[in-house]
Structure 1
Amino acid sequence: MLSTASTTMLVKSYLNQAELLLKDYVSADLFVVYTSIIIGIFACKTVYELSQLISPVYFKSYSNLTKGIQLEWSNRAMSTFHAMYIATMSLYFVLWSDLFVNDPQRGPVTLRSSTISVSALGVSVGYFLSDLSMIIWRYPSLGGMEYVVHHLLSLVSVAYAMLTGEAQIYTYMVLISEATTPSVNLRWYLDAAGMKRSKVYTINGVVIFLAWLVARILLFIYLFWHSYLYYDQVKQIHEIGVVMVHAVPTVLSVMNLYWFSKIFKGMVKTLKRE
């Protein structure tokens, strides 16, 4: 067995290696990183608490729900807030900002980042840390293993892009898919409020189907096409980043296709009932 002194030296050795790794690969301002992550966690906590305060006032059925359902109610308010925020930021960077425009003089598009793009990802990391903690704490009431895998993949890929400044364009493309979350959460709210037979519930099902098709199927096809078209620039990022650019969207695509099939079946079943 190792002595206390040997163990201490071993720990210090690993810490020194980790510090060198951070110096080599972390290009972001750590003050911006830490501040944005804290803001993300604080925002999630605030939305969660506000949901618990406001929901009983504006939704009569809320008080009749079990404690577990009330917890998920507030958790989904938190995820809706994050989805609206990060989808808006992602659409801005991908469609309207000049950060990722095709300009050879500005260097590879896969290596571009800014203080704003880093801080936006930091807020998202704060959310994924908060939500993943809740999922594990209440497992499996807030989601099964597929949610844990989804959040872990999202957390690792977003954190990598935030810290290194690499492949942010693809990270933001993937995060546009969060635009489907509000409609998915609304469906859950309608079900919890006993409105499963309402017209709104039926319309919501069609909206989810169309939004999922665009943001989680067609968009991912475009992402793969873009990474193929700009593969010479993709190769310029670190090997870990290259693997993540291909592996993370692939795994998420498989999960998206699985959920899409369930969404399609649910929509058809609801429309037939009308």
Structure 2
Amino acid sequence: MRTIPQGTAMSMDAYRNQAEVLVGSYLLADPYIPYTAVLSGIIACKMACDLMHLISIFYFKCYSSLTKIQRTEWNNRGMSTIHAIFITALSVYFVFWSNLFSDQGVGLLTFRSSALSTFTLGVSVGYFLSDLAVICWFYPSLGGMEYVIHHSLSGVAVAYSMLSGEGQLYTFMVLISEVTTPEINMRWFLETAGMKKSLVYLINGVLIFLAWLAARILLFGYLFYHVYLHYHQIIQMHILGYFLVFVVPVALAVMNLRWFSKIVKGVRKTLAQKERPLSI
């Protein structure tokens, strides 16, 4: 068995120790966590798009026949799906399972944060910046003004919560609504692949309706009720944080209701065709 020379082993230990010091003292030190997280989110988005491109070339025959803008949207939706799974899982953890925002915790819950919660929000900010940049660059091919407004409001609110540490609980409540993104993206993938008449497409439409109802309608109602119960804590936030807690969820709720009406119409139209032969 080949052994590593003692000098080489010592050099490797020295480099590892230097890397640990760099990560601990700078990249993951409290003052630098937001910036490290945002940069990590941007890099992760780029990697996700590139990975989506490579996977699609080898495993999806329809990918090569797409136009340039369609391939861009295909890759971009793959990236947004990965972010949605990541942020939804962690948001559910912080809102419902973590003790960080428990009513029995110490201090006002509107001012509570942790290194993990701040890093999570930073990654999400990196995603919103990346996705908004792509949408604006190809505007309006990848989304109209509603998408620009949605991403701008979400990005500003998440960034403020990340940097100030205020209102992170409500930020995570809103971010749970990202659970609808994978279903919306899957609908686009199926349409692009010519599978609008398939059983999978029908099931996906029902899942969109259920996920939207739970995460963007009922959960927002719970959010507003929670704000009402803890208003005495919210009024102690900075004026900007106070503004964002009320304005951003309300604006998003209005857009959610508008989109939900379209989803309901789409589900009705799809279910009306269920007696027709469906392909799997």
| TM norm structure 1 | 0.89
1:156-195 per-residue CA deviation (whole Å, 9 max, x = no partner) reads 0000000000000000000000001001100000000000
Aligned twin of 2:244: 244
Q: Shift of the alpha carbon at 1:88?
A: 0.6
> How many residues are treated as equivalent by the alignment?
246
The answer on 1:263 being equivalent to 2:272 is no
Q: Distance in 1 between matches of 2:63 and 2:193?
A: 8
Tell me which residue corresponds to 2:273. 273
Q: Which amino acid aligns with 1:100?
A: F
* Counterpart in the other structure of 1:138: 138
2:165 paired with 1:165? yes
- What amino acid maps onto 2:90 in structure 1? M
Q: What is the correspondence of 1:127-206 to structure 2 with a 5 Å cutoff?
A: 127-206=127-206
Equivalent residue for 1:88? Answer: 89
Amino acid across the alignment from 2:260: F
Deviation at 1:127, TM superposition (A): 0.4
Q: Quick check: 60-69 or 261-270, which moved more? A: 60-69
| 159-168 vs 28-37, greater mean Cα deviation | 28-37
Structure 1 equivalent of residue 98 of structure 2: 97
Cα deviation for residue 29 of structure 1 reads: 3.1
Q: Which residue is 1:12 aligned to?
A: none
The structural deviation recorded for 1:56 is 1.6
Query: What amino acid is the match of 1:80?
Result: T
Alignment match, 2:213: 213
1:225-274 deviation per Cα after TM superposition (whole angstroms, max 9, x unaligned): 00000100111111111111010000000000000000000010010011
The whole-number CA distance in structure 2 between the counterparts of 1:42 and 1:73 is 18
Deviation at 1:125, TM superposition (A): 0.4
- Distance of 1:95 and 1:236 partners within structure 2: 24
Partner of 1:52: 53
Secondary structure of the 1:110 match is helix
Q: CA deviation at 1:61?
A: 1.0
Residues of 1 paired with 2:84 and 2:114: CA distance? 21
Instruction: Give the greater-gyration-radius structure (CA).
Output: 2
Query: RMSD of aligned C-alpha atoms?
Result: 0.9
The runs of at least 4 consecutive aligned structure 1 residues that moved more than 3 Å come to none
Q: Secondary structure at the match of 1:79?
A: helix
Aligned pairs for 1:32-51 within 5 A: 32-51=33-52
Q: Which amino acid aligns with 2:246?
A: H
Once the two structures are TM-superposed, the CA of residue 66 in structure 1 deviates from its matched residue by 1.0
Give the corresponding residue for 2:21: none
Q: Which whole-Å deviations, capped at 9, do the CAs of 1:97-129 have from their partners, x for residues lacking one?
A: 10000026x111111000100000000000001
What amino acid does structure 2 have at the position aligned with 1:79? S
- 1:132 partner amino acid: L
Q: TM-score, normalised by structure 2?
A: 0.87
**2: distance between equivalents of 1:95 and 1:79?**
23
How far apart in 2 are the matches of 1:118 and 1:253? 24
Q: Equivalent residue of 1:242, what SS?
A: helix
